[in-house]
Amino acid sequence: MTQSFTTKLGQWKGSLLAFAVGQPAVQVLNLLTGFLLLRWLSVAEFAMFGVAFAFQSTINQLTDLGFSGSIVALAGERGTEPAWLGRYLRSARHYRGRMMLVTLVVASVVFPLLTWRQEWGVGTKLLLFGAIALAVVFQGRVLYGSPLLVHRRLRSYYQPQIVSAALRLCMCLGLHLTGMLSGWTAAWLGTLALGFVGLYYRRAARDCVQEPAASVPEANREMLSYLAPMIPGVAFGAIQGQLTVAIITLFGSTERIAEVSALGRIGQIFLLLSAFNAVMIEPYIARLPEQMLPRRYVQILGGAFVLAVVIGAVGFRFPRPLLWLLGSKYAGLERETGWIVASACVNYFISVMWTMHAARRWVYWWNTVVYISALVLVQVGCAITLDLSQTMGVIWFSLITALTVLGVQIANGAYGFMRGIKKGPAG
């Protein structure tokens, strides 16, 4: 048993060390940039940046629809074979490219409608939308990070992220010192940083993936079959993920938009843990033998629960340090801080469950139907009973939504175990 543990530790220590160094470095740089932008930008300018960031996240998820995330799960145990991995990466690009054309056309109509009430000027809105659209294009190149994760080349995975995050921070500082920092320039710096990462990934992954010249129909069908029950839920969830910002943009003032966007930054304390899902948990669970799954599932979920409870308690008991990070303009949001942390805790726990369910292909049509139906009913009730023009009303809306999703995911996990795994992790 000692020999086995030593062997496993030797296999994982390099990856764990790279993650332990790389991911915190990326997160610290990005968090520092985000919190400095809160201090450097006026309330109105940060509202612009917050809306652009939320809209970009939604459009990117609607473009991707799970294609990039399915690469690791579909490749499974054969993921280290370059040609086999290349089949699925090419399929993901195939579908993502077609979806991008659709979503950007739709976005060009929705974005002006969403920001209609905000007096930001036509030129500023065009600059914001340009940053959003180009970021979605660049995100397609980030697909090449999947081969690096499969091969556990975490140094190559994190190096460009660290460099781009550092450069972005320096550029924001430079623009701030020269008086040129604004909501749209901050959005463009984020887009250019994403483009740098995508370009590096494509070059770094050349020797561990071999893409066919054209997508393989069989792989396309397999990917679509795997994602079909998931796509409606992913599309619905993409809109849900940034619905709070959309609601406050439609019904609230610029000040309320800035408050909701600023409080959303507090939720980034979970980004390090969420990144662990994709970098370590998903590849591990996807390759795990069936007989070992129940024990590992409970262990991982138990650890996530303890972390979420501890962080949630800290958020309610000690909100002032978190508010200090946001700056003096948002110092009056002490009550809201505890509840936004609670909502983030629930969402983190959901993300851990979803990562393991997707890695094991526990994707069912009934889950999608229940997920969408339950959220629509709950959110209609919230819209009737809550004041969504106020920050606290939007936070309650977010928390109730998260608890509803958690209930659906618990049911999905129970069904997955009861049904048994008919297909292995490699399909």
pLDDT digits (tens, 9 = 90+) for 322-354: 777 777 777 777 778 888 888 888 988 998 998
Decide if 315 contacts 337 (C-beta within 8 A): yes
Tally of CB atoms within 10 A around 425: 21
pLDDT of residue 165: 94
pLDDT of residue 13: 63
In this predicted model, what pLDDT tens digit does every residue of 94-146 receive, in sequence order? 999 999 999 999 999 989 888 887 778 889 999 999 999 999 999 888 888 88
What is the rounded distance in angstroms from the CA atom of residue 374 to the CA atom of residue 358?
20
Pick from 23, 29, 104, 3: which is nearest to 62 by CA? 104
pLDDT of residue 312: 86
What is the rounded distance in angstroms from the CA atom of residue 259 to the CA atom of residue 354?
29
pLDDT of residue 426: 38
Structure-token match 């740089």, residue found:
29
Q: To which H or E segment does residue 366 belong?
A: helix 365-385
> Three-state DSSP class for 99?
helix
Which segments of the chain have a pLDDT < 50? 1-3, 9, 421, 423-427
pLDDT of residue 10: 53
pLDDT of residue 21: 81
pLDDT of residue 327: 72
What is the rounded distance in angstroms from the CA atom of residue 146 to the CA atom of residue 52?
26
Model pTM above 0.75: no
